[in-house]
Amino acid sequence: QIQAAEQKTYTIDTDVTFPPFVYANSENKYVGIDIELLKEIAKEEGFKVDIRPVGFNAAVQSVSSGQADGMIAGMSITEERKQKFDFSDPYYSAGIVMAVKEGSGIKSLSELKGKKVAVKTGTAGADYANSIKAKYGFEIVTFDDSDGVYNDVINGNSAACFEDSAVMYYAIKNGLNLKVVTKPANTTETGFAVKKGQNQELLKMFNEGLAKLKANGQYDKIIKKYTEGKA
């Protein structure tokens, strides 16, 4: 057993407008699947975390440049990212859905011609939008956080947004006035990430801790808590 005084603190960057993975609760404390998994894993493995709410793309940049030790933010494990990051074992999955304003009448990608689509900078949703924008003839508008993305659709500037399915469904369940109109596309697993080749001891502890939480039922409890309950 490691003594508290000897525990190392790791800087972990995240994206705090991303429920049910990471968000601030009514007491302004960061909670969600990612935060609870990380905290439980840190407790099991004997390390400390300093969680910084920098936003998704900023987290990608800070981990890539070595200014943060790791990131956890419902991050999709993609081949492209594996060039720059080492990922933990997966703890969830994410696919991209298209959502429109409730009552807008837009039902499919083919109705986006000449319209705007809102996405979050540096995300799988943004990559997806870029990969199909020529085919469907829409324009892309980017935001740093998911709230900016949703607001752009609600205020009518963008006709649609692309977002991770679990996140979109969670927001709608909690009262956001959007509607999902497509099935999840480009589904990948999600994981904790460190810079490629760096912080390998942290990655190893994350994987060991995650395996323990999966074995002792804590993992299922955390997932259930944030996918079945209300915010």
Q: Which is nearer to ligand GLN, 192 or 219 (CB)?
A: 192
Q: Which of residues 144-203 bind ligand GLN (CB under 6 A)?
A: 164
Q: Considering the rule CB under 6 A, would residue 129 count as an interface residue with ligand GLN?
A: no
Q: Which is nearer to ligand GLN, 45 or 54 (CB)?
A: 54
Residue of 12, 31, 124, 161 interacting with ligand GLN (CB under 6 A):
124
Residue of 12, 33, 38, 75 interacting with ligand GLN (CB under 6 A):
75
Span of 27-35, 45-53, 118-126, 211-219 interacting with ligand GLN by CB under 6 A: 118-126
For the chain, the C-alpha Rg in angstroms (whole number) is: 18
Q: Considering the rule CB under 6 A, would residue 123 count as an interface residue with ligand GLN?
A: yes
**Residues 38/49, Cβ–Cβ less than 8 Å:** yes
Distances 211 to 112, 140, 150 between C-alpha atoms, Å: 43, 39, 35
**Residues 105/166, Cβ–Cβ less than 8 Å:** no
Minimum distance of ligand GLN from residue 81's CB (angstroms): 8
SS3 229: coil
Q: Which of residues 91-110 bind ligand GLN (CB under 6 A)?
A: 94
User: What angle do helix axes 218-228 and 33-45 make, rounded to 10 degrees?
Assistant: 160
Neighbours of 175 (CB within 10 A): 8
Q: Which of residues 4-63 bind ligand GLN (CB under 6 A)?
A: 15, 18, 56
Q: Considering the rule CB under 6 A, would residue 73 count as an interface residue with ligand GLN?
A: yes
User: What angle do helix axes 33-45 and 200-215 make, rounded to 10 degrees?
Assistant: 100
Q: How far apart are CA 148 and CA 140, in angstroms?
A: 13
Q: Which of 130, 127, 183, 121 is nearest to 152 (CA)?
A: 121
Residue of 32, 52, 119, 120 interacting with ligand GLN (CB under 6 A):
120
Minimum distance of ligand GLN from residue 3's CB (angstroms): 35
Residues that bind ligand GLN (CB under 6 A): 15, 18, 56, 73-76, 94, 120, 123-124, 164
